[in-house]
Structure 1
Amino acid sequence: MNWISEWALPKIKTLFGASREVPENLWHKCPACEQMIFHRDLERNLHVCTHCGHHMRISAARRLECTFDPGFSRIELPKVPADPLRFRDQRRYADRLREAQVKAAMDDAVAVAHGAIEGQRAVVAAFEFAFMGGSMGAGVGEAIVTAARLAVLQDAPLIVFTASGGARMQEGAVSLMQMPRTVIATRLVKEAGLPFIVVMCDPTTGGVTASFAMLGDIHIAEPGAMIGFAGARVIEQTVREKLPEGFQRAEYLLEHGILDMVVKRGEMRETLARVIGLLREPLLTQPERAPAAAEASNVIALPTPEAPAPAAS
């Protein structure tokens, strides 16, 4: 059989040309229905499964692209101490942080940009879950505060897309202090009379849920997003009861009044523009009422029932 490998195969390769390597990641498997989706179809559908409609996680950069009109601008966020506690577990926190920055091409887990959404001005902060689980440290807190100040400066609503596992344990109490800081940031926006809209993506948990994520004027979520504080297993062990089906999912929270709406990713941009328009445009003034005399002339008097005759004594 040596003549096949030594003579025939080289002749065939020479005749038809060298074989090209097949690029990786041409097909993606949906984590919900396990169907294979061609990468171009998945990108065209904003990373929503074309078979079952499952909303996959997307990057913060892609989130900004599919939310804003063309021409938006990302802003550079203030620098914060990289490793304030010199934390180390199995690896140094500084090494984990550098690795996440290279992987996500971001300084921290939030990207902030300003621009227009179907003509409506807005400031948007988007979480990057691939950056250490979107955990909230000093950098994330600074990003939310900066976004709030920019919204007030530009007289524009603030929209935050959340996707986070909660506080960043490697920063300890510094991370926990970002909860009141982000709450104060939301107060800056509201005191300026500007809308604060929170779009909760999968997952939104922990300290993010326990702070600014539940303080929006409007709460929106993507279909199937997991939203809560503690995990379902921890809650079951605490209350010693079986949780309902779909507990901590967007549809369940909408049914129980925690959310205002659940919106598909393909309809999110249009929905945000409509909500901003409703919140920002002044209400139409009602026409002046006619004088009382004119109103009285148009009133039709209804006959009143006659009083019964007195009974004969």
Structure 2
Amino acid sequence: MRWLTPVLALTLAACSGSSPPAAPAAPATAPAPAKAATASPAPSKDVAKTFTPPPADSIPDTPFGKMVREGRAIFTDTQTHAKAYVGNGLNCSNCHLDAGRLPNAAPLWAAWGMYPAYRSKNGHVNTFAERLQGCFRYSMNGKAPPPDSEVIVALESYSYWLAQGAPTGVALAGRGYPKQGFKPPQPPDFARGQKVFETSCALCHGKDGQGQKVAGRYVFPPLWGPDSFNWGAGMHQLNNAAAFIKANMPLGRGGMLSDQDAWDVAMFMDAHERPQDPRFNGNVAETRKKYHDSKMSLYGTVVNGHLLGSGPDR
């Protein structure tokens, strides 16, 4: 099966996150400071490489600790504790593994210290609260909690607590998904990806990719369709999905798949329909041009004769 139209020929480049501005150089005439008057040194690269969040059992038994625990509960069981803001079957911890603690699975402790930050996705500087709101709107296919709501405050508290002792403004090792230099030997292929899915993913996520439930609740999340993340979520982009899969999937056996297999199965997953981008303006082509003009997005492209983003969910 061939999926790739000329417009989608992938010349892939790894995406990079926002970086903090470089510190201004000291004046040329400034004398070398005495040791006693030396300002606090910038965090060393060694600190960034070795950061470990505090253990879960060390959350303090205080009013602040109570809010931290609430944030952890929301994060791991969003369906129960933030139901009013969720529109699909996912929990935050489906993409941010081990309750937001696991390196290379977009851990909360590595994200906290990098905000406020400019995001090209919405064209302005975002606070951490706004970043969390975006997760509800896109990854959870729901609606954004108010920035001063208990849900956002609890999630901020949990993130802050996880990041205690971490340097701020430093891209910690394990942040996000490992995309640096991560390119497929060949362009991603739907047919190859389907084979990878059948052998390495279907056991947990189901042959139809719709996840698996126990007692009416997902124990393994749906990867596409009406109960999955929508077309505005970061995971719909091939490089994000491939990097996450390579580092973390199959669950508990991250790194097992080859680079090519990870990209191929990401292609297969992201070439299925899912809920519409909430920024949809009534026209798929125009929405792609405005929000998805990237080789990493399949939205608005034709795969196996289907225009992705046109629905219905399948």
TM-score (norm 1): 0.23
Q: Answer with 1 or 2: which has the greater Rg.
A: 1
Which of the two has greater strand per residue? 1
Kindly indicate whether structure 1 or structure 2 has the higher relative contact order, using CA contacts under 8 Å at least 6 residues apart.
2
TM-score (norm 2): 0.23
